[in-house]
Structure 1
Amino acid sequence: MTVTLDQVRCFVAVAEELHFGRAAERLRMTQPPLSRQIQKLESQVGAQLLERDNRRVSLTAAGAAFLEDSYRLVNTLDQAVAHARRVEGGSAGTLHLGFTAVSAIGILGPLLGLLGQDLPDIEVILHERVTGGQVDGIRRGEIDLGLARPPFDTSALSSRVVVREPLRVAVHEGHPLASATGPLGPEDFDGLPVISYHPTQARYFHELTVRFLVNGHSRITQNVQQILTAVLLVAAGEGVAFVPATAAALGVQGVRFMPLAPMTDGHPDSDPARPVELHAIWARGTMNPMLRNVLHLVQRSAQRVDDSYA
């Protein structure tokens, strides 16, 4: 049995108009081909769907039942067509979004809110991973878009800075530096134990720590991979740690986040007052309408964070 969509649409028009002439006008066709479509449909269905004579057209019992099913069929197809068009236009689909724990504090909540508001037909699947894990996920096709820290392999990845924020030092509330009245410089950490970061697993914050302390004489006592771990060690009195300003939102008791003097190490692409960067990253050459729309919302949500430090 081969029933075509054109036959179904012709039947619906006649069933609603109960008049072949008006149905033909509605479908912008003449009556003879319309009648042939109805005849073919009835032949394929194996039932008479319409009673017709020179004066009137009416539905048979089979026709009334077929009309209800036809409505569902046409509506389903219309929805499928509309969904395909939304996917093509970038307003529907599935987004695998990578993020780090601290990057989520300032930007992830607002981003998810904007996605739900502006692009509700995009299903978001979250992947919490450190930067290296996000990069690997993008290379394997597991992640479409990441929120991560540089540096990146620019031959394989495209990136865009979405947030710049200050570097802070996390100190225990009982530490002498907790009562400082102004921004702290490298010399303020001379001889102090510092919780730093793993040179490869947490390369970005390791390098920021080294850059800030380059003219000081502090002691590196720990190397961790996560910002939260560093802050928890500060709370335990193990030392001080350099963290992004958004880490204050972690709400770890007993820890204060003190301002630092601007970085002056000559990095041309860095803002000395806001050296901590968060990037959106994706596979080079994979930009599509959905990703473009999501990146626009990433920029909107990040602007709130960025503006707070301007």
Structure 2
Amino acid sequence: MLTLDQIRAFVAVAEELHFGRAADRLRMTQPPLSRHIQKLERVIGVTLLERDNRRVVLTDAGRGFLEDARRMLSLVDTAGDRARRIASGAAGTVRLGFTAVSAISMLGALLRRLSEQLPEIDVILHERVTAGQVDGLLRGELDLGLARPPFDIDTLDSRVVFREPLCAAVPLGHPLAELGRPLAPDDFDGLPVISYNPVQSRYFHELTVRFLTNAHPRIEQQVHQILTAVLLVAAGRGVALAPASARSLGVDGIAFCDLVRGGGDPLDGEAGNGEPVELHVIWSRDSTNPALARVLELLPDLEAG
């Protein structure tokens, strides 16, 4: 069996072309050094060194093996360092789940920050709705998610990383777009509304229901994704509530209007103006991935303030 001691012995002799100097370099005597070379040649089945009392010469096979032997030793030397870096979280892999709208609000900035500060961490992206991300975390398919609440706090940890206003998406030229003021729940009375699936998109379903509690809209569709809702609005199928970052989806034929709460102020995400739309990072409490902790250190923590 090939051993590292044999490979190191061969490289030393091949580079020194002298058993005495090679033995001194390896801090050993010549007899065990010679035995390492002999065992190595028996394992490989070819002569690597021609030697007599006056000189040591590499054979053609020996010159070829020397290149590979150096690469093997280099790999061994760097493997330990890489293992230590992975154990410390400075290198490794993080599998990141995200939704389409979370990608607009945060994903690009996060990936740039990771590339700059943790270049040895590979990020593998998975686009999934929040429910799919939660399932992926629990199954061990994901390490981290950019998702919307609520979450199972018994198995998942979460942290707010982004807040933005809730707004209304309406077709261009729609009477709501012409009011020139933030919209109140009563403005939606009797209008067709694109809402969200109460299971797959529970968060935006509940935000929509809460805002329209005292209105009497007609729920036309219940969709899973913000993009789908905005596309239906552009097609004239109704109006919808969406996070402000949906403006960046670039869908033509849409106007976005501010909303009011209570005293009539726009929902700007500040205290006293109602509940903002929150984006959380979520991860499994049982995660053993060292790179995850390093990634979390780079994320903003809006709850800390």
* TM-score (ref. length: structure 2): 0.82
Change in CA separation of 1:198 and 1:65 when aligned onto 2, cut-off 3 Å? closer
Question: Mapping of 1:76-225 within 5 angstroms?
Answer: 76-214=75-213, 216-222=214-220, 223-225=222-224
The alignment status of 1:282 with 2:280, answered yes or no, reads: no
CA distance in 1, matches of 2:141, 2:7: 42
1:13 shift after superposition: 1.6
Partner of 2:266: none
How far apart, in 2, do the equivalents of 1:30 and 1:187 lie? 93
Secondary structure of the corresponding residue to residue 228 of structure 1: helix
Whichever residue aligns with residue 143 of structure 1, its letter is L
The answer on whether the counterparts of 2:6 and 2:37 sit within 8 Å (CA) in structure 1 is yes
1:252, distance to aligned residue in structure 2 (A): 1.2
SS at match of 1:184: coil
CA distance in 2, matches of 1:163, 1:287: 26
What amino acid maps onto 2:286 in structure 1?
Answer: G
Q: Deviations over 1:140-196 (max 9, x none)?
A: 222222211100111111112121111111122212222344433334434443322
* 219-228 or 82-91: bigger deviation: 82-91
Cα 1:270–1:213 change in 2 (3 A) is farther
CA-CA distance at 1:8 after TM superposition: 0.5
Letter in 1 for 2:260: A
Question: In the aligned structure 2, how far is the partner of 1:212 from the partner of 1:254?
Answer: 24
1: CA distance between counterparts of 2:237 and 2:62? 80
Q: Which deviates the most, 182-191 or 145-154?
A: 182-191
Which shows bigger deviation, 38-47 or 133-142? 38-47
Q: How many residues get paired?
A: 295
Name the SS of the counterpart of 1:127 in structure 2: strand
Could you say which residue in structure 2 is the equivalent of 1:306? none
**Contact kept? 2:92, 2:121, Cα under 8 Å:** yes
Give 1:213's aligned amino acid.
Answer: L
Q: Distance in 1 between matches of 2:37 and 2:195?
A: 78
Distance 1:208 1:40 in 2: 74
2:16 is the alignment partner of 1:7: no
Residue of structure 2 equivalent to 1:75: 74
- Distance between the aligned counterparts of 1:172 and 1:75, measured in 2? 63
Q: Aligned equivalents of 1:5 and 1:71: distance in 2?
A: 11
Distance 1:63 1:252, change over 3 A: closer
State the one-letter code of the partner of 1:140.
R
Matches within 5 A, 1:5-44: 5-44=4-43
- Is the 1:165–1:274 contact (alpha carbons within 8 Å) kept by the matching residues of 2? no
Over 3 Å counting, the alpha-carbon distance change for 1:22 and 1:229 in structure 2 is same
2: CA distance between counterparts of 1:232 and 1:61? 69
Instruction: State the Cα distance separating 1:286 from its structure 2 match.
Output: 0.8
Normalization by structure 1: what TM-score?
0.81
For 1:8, the aligned partner's letter is I
The alignment yields a C-alpha RMSD, in angstroms, of: 3.1
- Out of 54-63 and 234-243, give the one that drifted further: 54-63
In 1, distance between residues paired with 2:261 and 2:160? Answer: 19
**Contact 1:194–1:218 (CA<8 Å) still a contact in 2?**
no
Q: Could you say if the C-alpha distance between residues 33 and 230 of structure 1 is closer, same or farther in structure 2, counting changes exceeding 3 Å?
A: same
Q: Report the secondary structure of 2:6's partner residue.
A: helix
Deviates more, 1:172-181 or 1:237-246: 172-181
Whether contact under 8 Å (1:165, 1:277) holds in the other structure is: yes
Per-residue deviation, 1:119: 4.3
The AA in structure 1 aligned to 2:296 is L
Change (3 A) 1:226 1:62: closer
Q: Percent identity?
A: 63
Residue 229 of structure 1 and its aligned partner are, at CA, apart by 2.0
Verify the 8 A CA contact 1:212 1:263 in the aligned structure 2.
Answer: no
User: 1:6: Cα distance to partner?
Assistant: 1.1
The runs of 5 or more residues in structure 2 that have no matched partner are 264-268
Query: Deviation digits for residues 225-278 of structure 1, max 9, x if unmatched?
Result: 2212221222233332111111001111111112223578xxxx9954671111
Distance 1:230 1:46 in 2: 70
Q: Is the CA contact 2:190–2:218 (under 8 Å) kept in the aligned structure 1?
A: no
TM-aligned CA distance change 1:287 to 1:185, over 3 Å: farther
